[in-house]
Amino acid sequence: EAGVAQSPRYKIIEKRQSVAFWCNPISGHATLYWYQQILGQGPKLLIQFQNNGVVDDSQLPKDRFSAERLKGVDSTLKIQPAKLEDSAVYLCASSSSPGDEQYFGPGTRLTVT
């Protein structure tokens, strides 16, 4: 069984630029999560999808972050414009349903200069 795929693995951009991350969850997993992991901290949930609907985006900075999961499979997370404090690892995870074991991708390490 293929795991959660994410791309790119690394990205360096200048502040005020835009960036997008892609996630392909495990086949059949209806629930998809995006987390932000700042160096030295645990992952923080940004947004949770159930199929193509948003379950919770209360911690997503909506003035600059957006996410979509149009067909209930792949998802993209976008930052526009980026700030220095957005430097972090962005993790995608999926589960068959809310509360089931979450499987994490390798993450995208974003550096904003």
Partner 1 sequence: AQSVTQLDSQVPVFEEAPVELRCNYSSSVSVYLFWYVQYPNQGLQLLLKYLSGSTLVKGINGFEAEFNKSQTSFHLRKPSVHISDTAEYFCAVSEPGSARQLTFGSGTQLTVLP
Interface contacts to partner 1, rule CB under 8 A: 4, 40-45, 48, 55-56, 91, 93, 98-99, 101-102, 104-107
- What's the min distance (Å) between Cβ of 31 and partner 1? 9
The CA–CA distances, whole Å, from 108 to 6, 52, 88, 97, 99 equal 7, 22, 8, 24, 24
Q: What's the CA gap between 48 and 94, in Å, rounded? A: 9
- What's the min distance (Å) between Cβ of 37 and partner 1? 9
Q: 65 vs 94, which CB is nearer to partner 1? A: 94
Q: 44 vs 83, which CB is nearer to partner 1? A: 44
Q: What's the CA gap between 104 and 86, in Å, rounded? A: 20
Q: 12 vs 55, which CB is nearer to partner 1? A: 55
- What's the min distance (Å) between Cβ of 56 and partner 1? 6
Q: 45 vs 81, which CB is nearer to partner 1? A: 45
**Which tokens in the block code for residue 105?**
């991708």
- What's the min distance (Å) between Cβ of 75 and partner 1? 15
Q: What's the CA gap between 91 and 71, in Å, rounded? A: 20
Torsional class of 99: left (φ above 0), alpha (ψ -120 to 50), beta (otherwise): left
